[in-house]
Structure 1
Amino acid sequence: MHLTIRSLLLPLLLIFATAVSAEPLSIYVSILPQKFIVERLGGEHVRVSVLVGPGQSAETYEPLPRQMAVLSRAALFYRIGVPFEDVLIDSIKSANPAMVLLDAREGVTLREMESAGEHHDDAAHGHAEDGDDPHIWLAPANVRIMIGHLRDRLIALDPAHADSYRENHARFDQELIALEQEIRDLLGPLKGRRFMVFHPSWGYFADAFGLQQLPIESEGKEPGARTLKRLVDQARAEGIKVIFVQEQFAQSQAAALAAAIGGRLVTLDPLAEPYLDNLRQVARAIEEAYR
């Protein structure tokens, strides 16, 4: 009788254990491009939630109570370096001491944010401090560094699917190499050129492909009359006819500047989720601006 019960229970226990191990890792990220990156590596083995949704600004974002509740049950919080995360970290650790924290900036060389109308060639090193540029995901080479650390952390959390994470990493890494070469071929003839942006989101992208971004605002502050005049003069001198803006920010000053130089506005979104296609679109938009 005991053997019969044991023989019946064993398959049920195996089914239960398989179901438990098949539960995807609950991962929270700050922005949509991270969601794309984590899902590319984790596939069906991860369930990704994002804090800053479509059309929202990471500069002004405040978490909702329901998001904090889900965060308290997450296995991993994958931070990127945007300012609001600093406010959240203590609360997250208090609510979920067992949650693993992974910083996407690990191993990435950080650069400084430009001031209005300026370009900084000197890069800062280490983790972000005041003035460091958090938009690290906008250079494919940075994402290649990021996904190596992410792969290792996923394997540590879920060793049963290590082979899947390694295979996904190798495939994604090759996609990033191909994307970088594709953009380099497209933008190579523009090496050294400046492109004007409202918010300085594109510094890592510009550095990666031999360009320079020329921001209109910095540190969330719109430029004064003197800076605007300098920007108009510079745009005219360099033949800049396109100003790149993003939907998360007001565009009135950018529109006024575009009118002053006889140019136009083009929307680029550094927070778009389809990362690979978005960078291709950005590269084409910049290339078309100089035809």
Structure 2
Amino acid sequence: MKTSLAALFATTSVFAASSAMAAPEVVVSVKPIHSLVAAVMEGVAVPKLIVEGAASPHTFTMKPSNARSLEKADVIFWVGENLETFLEKPLDALGKKATVVALSEAPGVEKLKLREGGTFESHDHSDEDHDDHAGHDHAKHDHAKHDHEKQAGHDDHDHEGFDMHLWLDPSNAKAMVKEIQARLIKADPEHVAIYNRNAAELEKKIDALDQEIRSALAPVRAKPLVVFHDAYQYFEHHYDINVVGSITVSPETVPGAERLSEIHKKLASLNAVCVFAEPQFQPKLIDVVTAGTKAKSGTLDPEGATLKEGPELYFNLMRNMSKSLVDCLDKDA
């Protein structure tokens, strides 16, 4: 009897080990999409994250451990080369056996072009004054029909100037979930039932979150605000909030004294209620541009820098942004 039980235990252990080994090695670039991938993979495996902690994809430097993860990966999810520029060469050199999925190219994802002019700084980063019209260009991108599945070579990705903070629109998040689901099923058909169930539940949670945030922002959405860099137009576009300008378009470019002086002057003319910093980028600049004005200051964290990674991060990120906006814009809060 003891021998039979031992044999049964050994067989079960081997089966469990082989089942665990069947799960693909998945690597994800940044926290918000890692959260979506982790939610779809829950109960199967935990994907590896490259840009950890409070790091930003705008200023990230690869580590040896990141390189090893890319070499071992079966599937790599990233937003695309216009966000994680640090990944372009490593993907070509290290991710040769992996399926590389740029979620910016997922079917159903709406991409908005980067803005310039008005109170948004031009993309040549000059300090010259621009037309003061604060209208928002929400130009939509027509997606070309092409094969989205790439191995490490992906040089036909577009190089146009699109805002890559796609996850801030819940509709985009749902489109990315569908792509994540499809790619995981293709890489790991043994767990198709789990991926399908998780993706369906995740889409329902995103719908509920969307309604919750829309209701919370309704009383303050018309109040004008200025952000640190122009990373919010998906959130702005989806919820119709009134972002009238940014201190800098690109966080890699530190605004000069002339630019800060320009923003300081415009805060009064724009009647901006709040100016928002970000955790990773020089919050003291906000103090400079708001000094002597009636504008209050707050913090927005569009990349989840201050949040713990995992399936709940996306929901915490979106709720925190909504709460920060309401807290600052509601003068009675």
Q: TM-score, normalised by structure 1?
A: 0.87
Deviation at 1:236, TM superposition (A): 1.9
In structure 1, what is the Cα distance between the partners aligned to 2:8 and 2:316? Answer: 48
- Letter of the 1:159 partner, please give it: P
In structure 2, what is the Cα distance between the partners aligned to 1:90 and 1:46? Answer: 27
Higher RCO (CA < 8 A, seq sep 6+):
2
Partner of 1:4: none
* Mapping 1:265-280, distance limit 5 Å: 265-272=297-304, 273=309, 274-280=313-319
Whether the 8 Å contact between 2:224 and 2:271 is mirrored in structure 1 is no
User: CA separation of 1:185/1:31 partners in 2, compared to 1, >3 Å: closer, same or farther?
Assistant: same
Q: 2:208 aligns with which of 174, 178, 184?
A: 178
* Mapping 1:81-160, distance limit 5 Å: 81=80, 83=82, 85-105=84-104, 106-107=106-107, 108-115=109-116, 117-118=119-120, 119-126=136-143, 129-160=159-190
Whether the 8 Å contact between 1:61 and 1:84 is mirrored in structure 2 is no
- Unpaired segments ≥5 residues, structure 2: 1-5, 121-135, 144-156
> Are 1:287 and 2:326 matched, yes or no?
yes
Q: Secondary structure at the match of 1:253?
A: helix
Deviation at 1:128, TM superposition (A): 5.0
Q: Secondary structure at the match of 1:45?
A: coil
Deviation at 1:50, TM superposition (A): 1.3
Whether the 8 Å contact between 1:93 and 1:99 is mirrored in structure 2 is no
Partner of 2:150: none
What is the number of equivalent residue pairs in this alignment? Answer: 284
Alignment deviations for residues 221-275 of structure 1 (CA, whole Å, 9 cap, x no partner): 3445554444334322343232111111112322201214233431221121411
Partner of 1:215: 246
In structure 2, what is the Cα distance between the partners aligned to 1:237 and 1:255? Answer: 18
Q: What fraction of aligned residue pairs are identical, expressed as a percent?
A: 23
In structure 2, what is the Cα distance between the partners aligned to 1:282 and 1:150? Answer: 24
Deviation at 1:10, TM superposition (A): 10
Q: Secondary structure at the match of 1:284?
A: helix
Partner of 1:64: 63
In structure 2, what is the Cα distance between the partners aligned to 1:21 and 1:242? Answer: 52
In structure 1, what is the Cα distance between the partners aligned to 2:179 and 2:325? Answer: 31
- Letter of the 2:113 partner, please give it: E
Q: TM-score, normalised by structure 2?
A: 0.76
CA RMSD of aligned residues (A): 2.6
- Letter of the 2:72 partner, please give it: R
Deviation at 1:153, TM superposition (A): 0.9
Higher helix share: 1
In structure 2, what is the Cα distance between the partners aligned to 1:224 and 1:10? Answer: 70
> Are 1:37 and 2:36 matched, yes or no?
yes
User: CA separation of 1:125/1:59 partners in 2, compared to 1, >3 Å: closer, same or farther?
Assistant: farther
Partner of 2:217: 187
In structure 1, what is the Cα distance between the partners aligned to 2:325 and 2:90? Answer: 41
* Mapping 1:194-209, distance limit 5 Å: 194-209=224-239
Whether the 8 Å contact between 1:255 and 1:264 is mirrored in structure 2 is no
In structure 1, what is the Cα distance between the partners aligned to 2:158 and 2:297? Answer: 31
> Are 1:20 and 2:21 matched, yes or no?
no
Q: Which moved more, 1:137-146 or 1:20-29?
A: 20-29
Alignment deviations for residues 111-164 of structure 1 (CA, whole Å, 9 cap, x no partner): 122347234332344465342111001111110000001111111111111111
- Letter of the 2:78 partner, please give it: R
Deviation at 1:19, TM superposition (A): 1.9
User: CA separation of 1:11/1:62 partners in 2, compared to 1, >3 Å: closer, same or farther?
Assistant: same
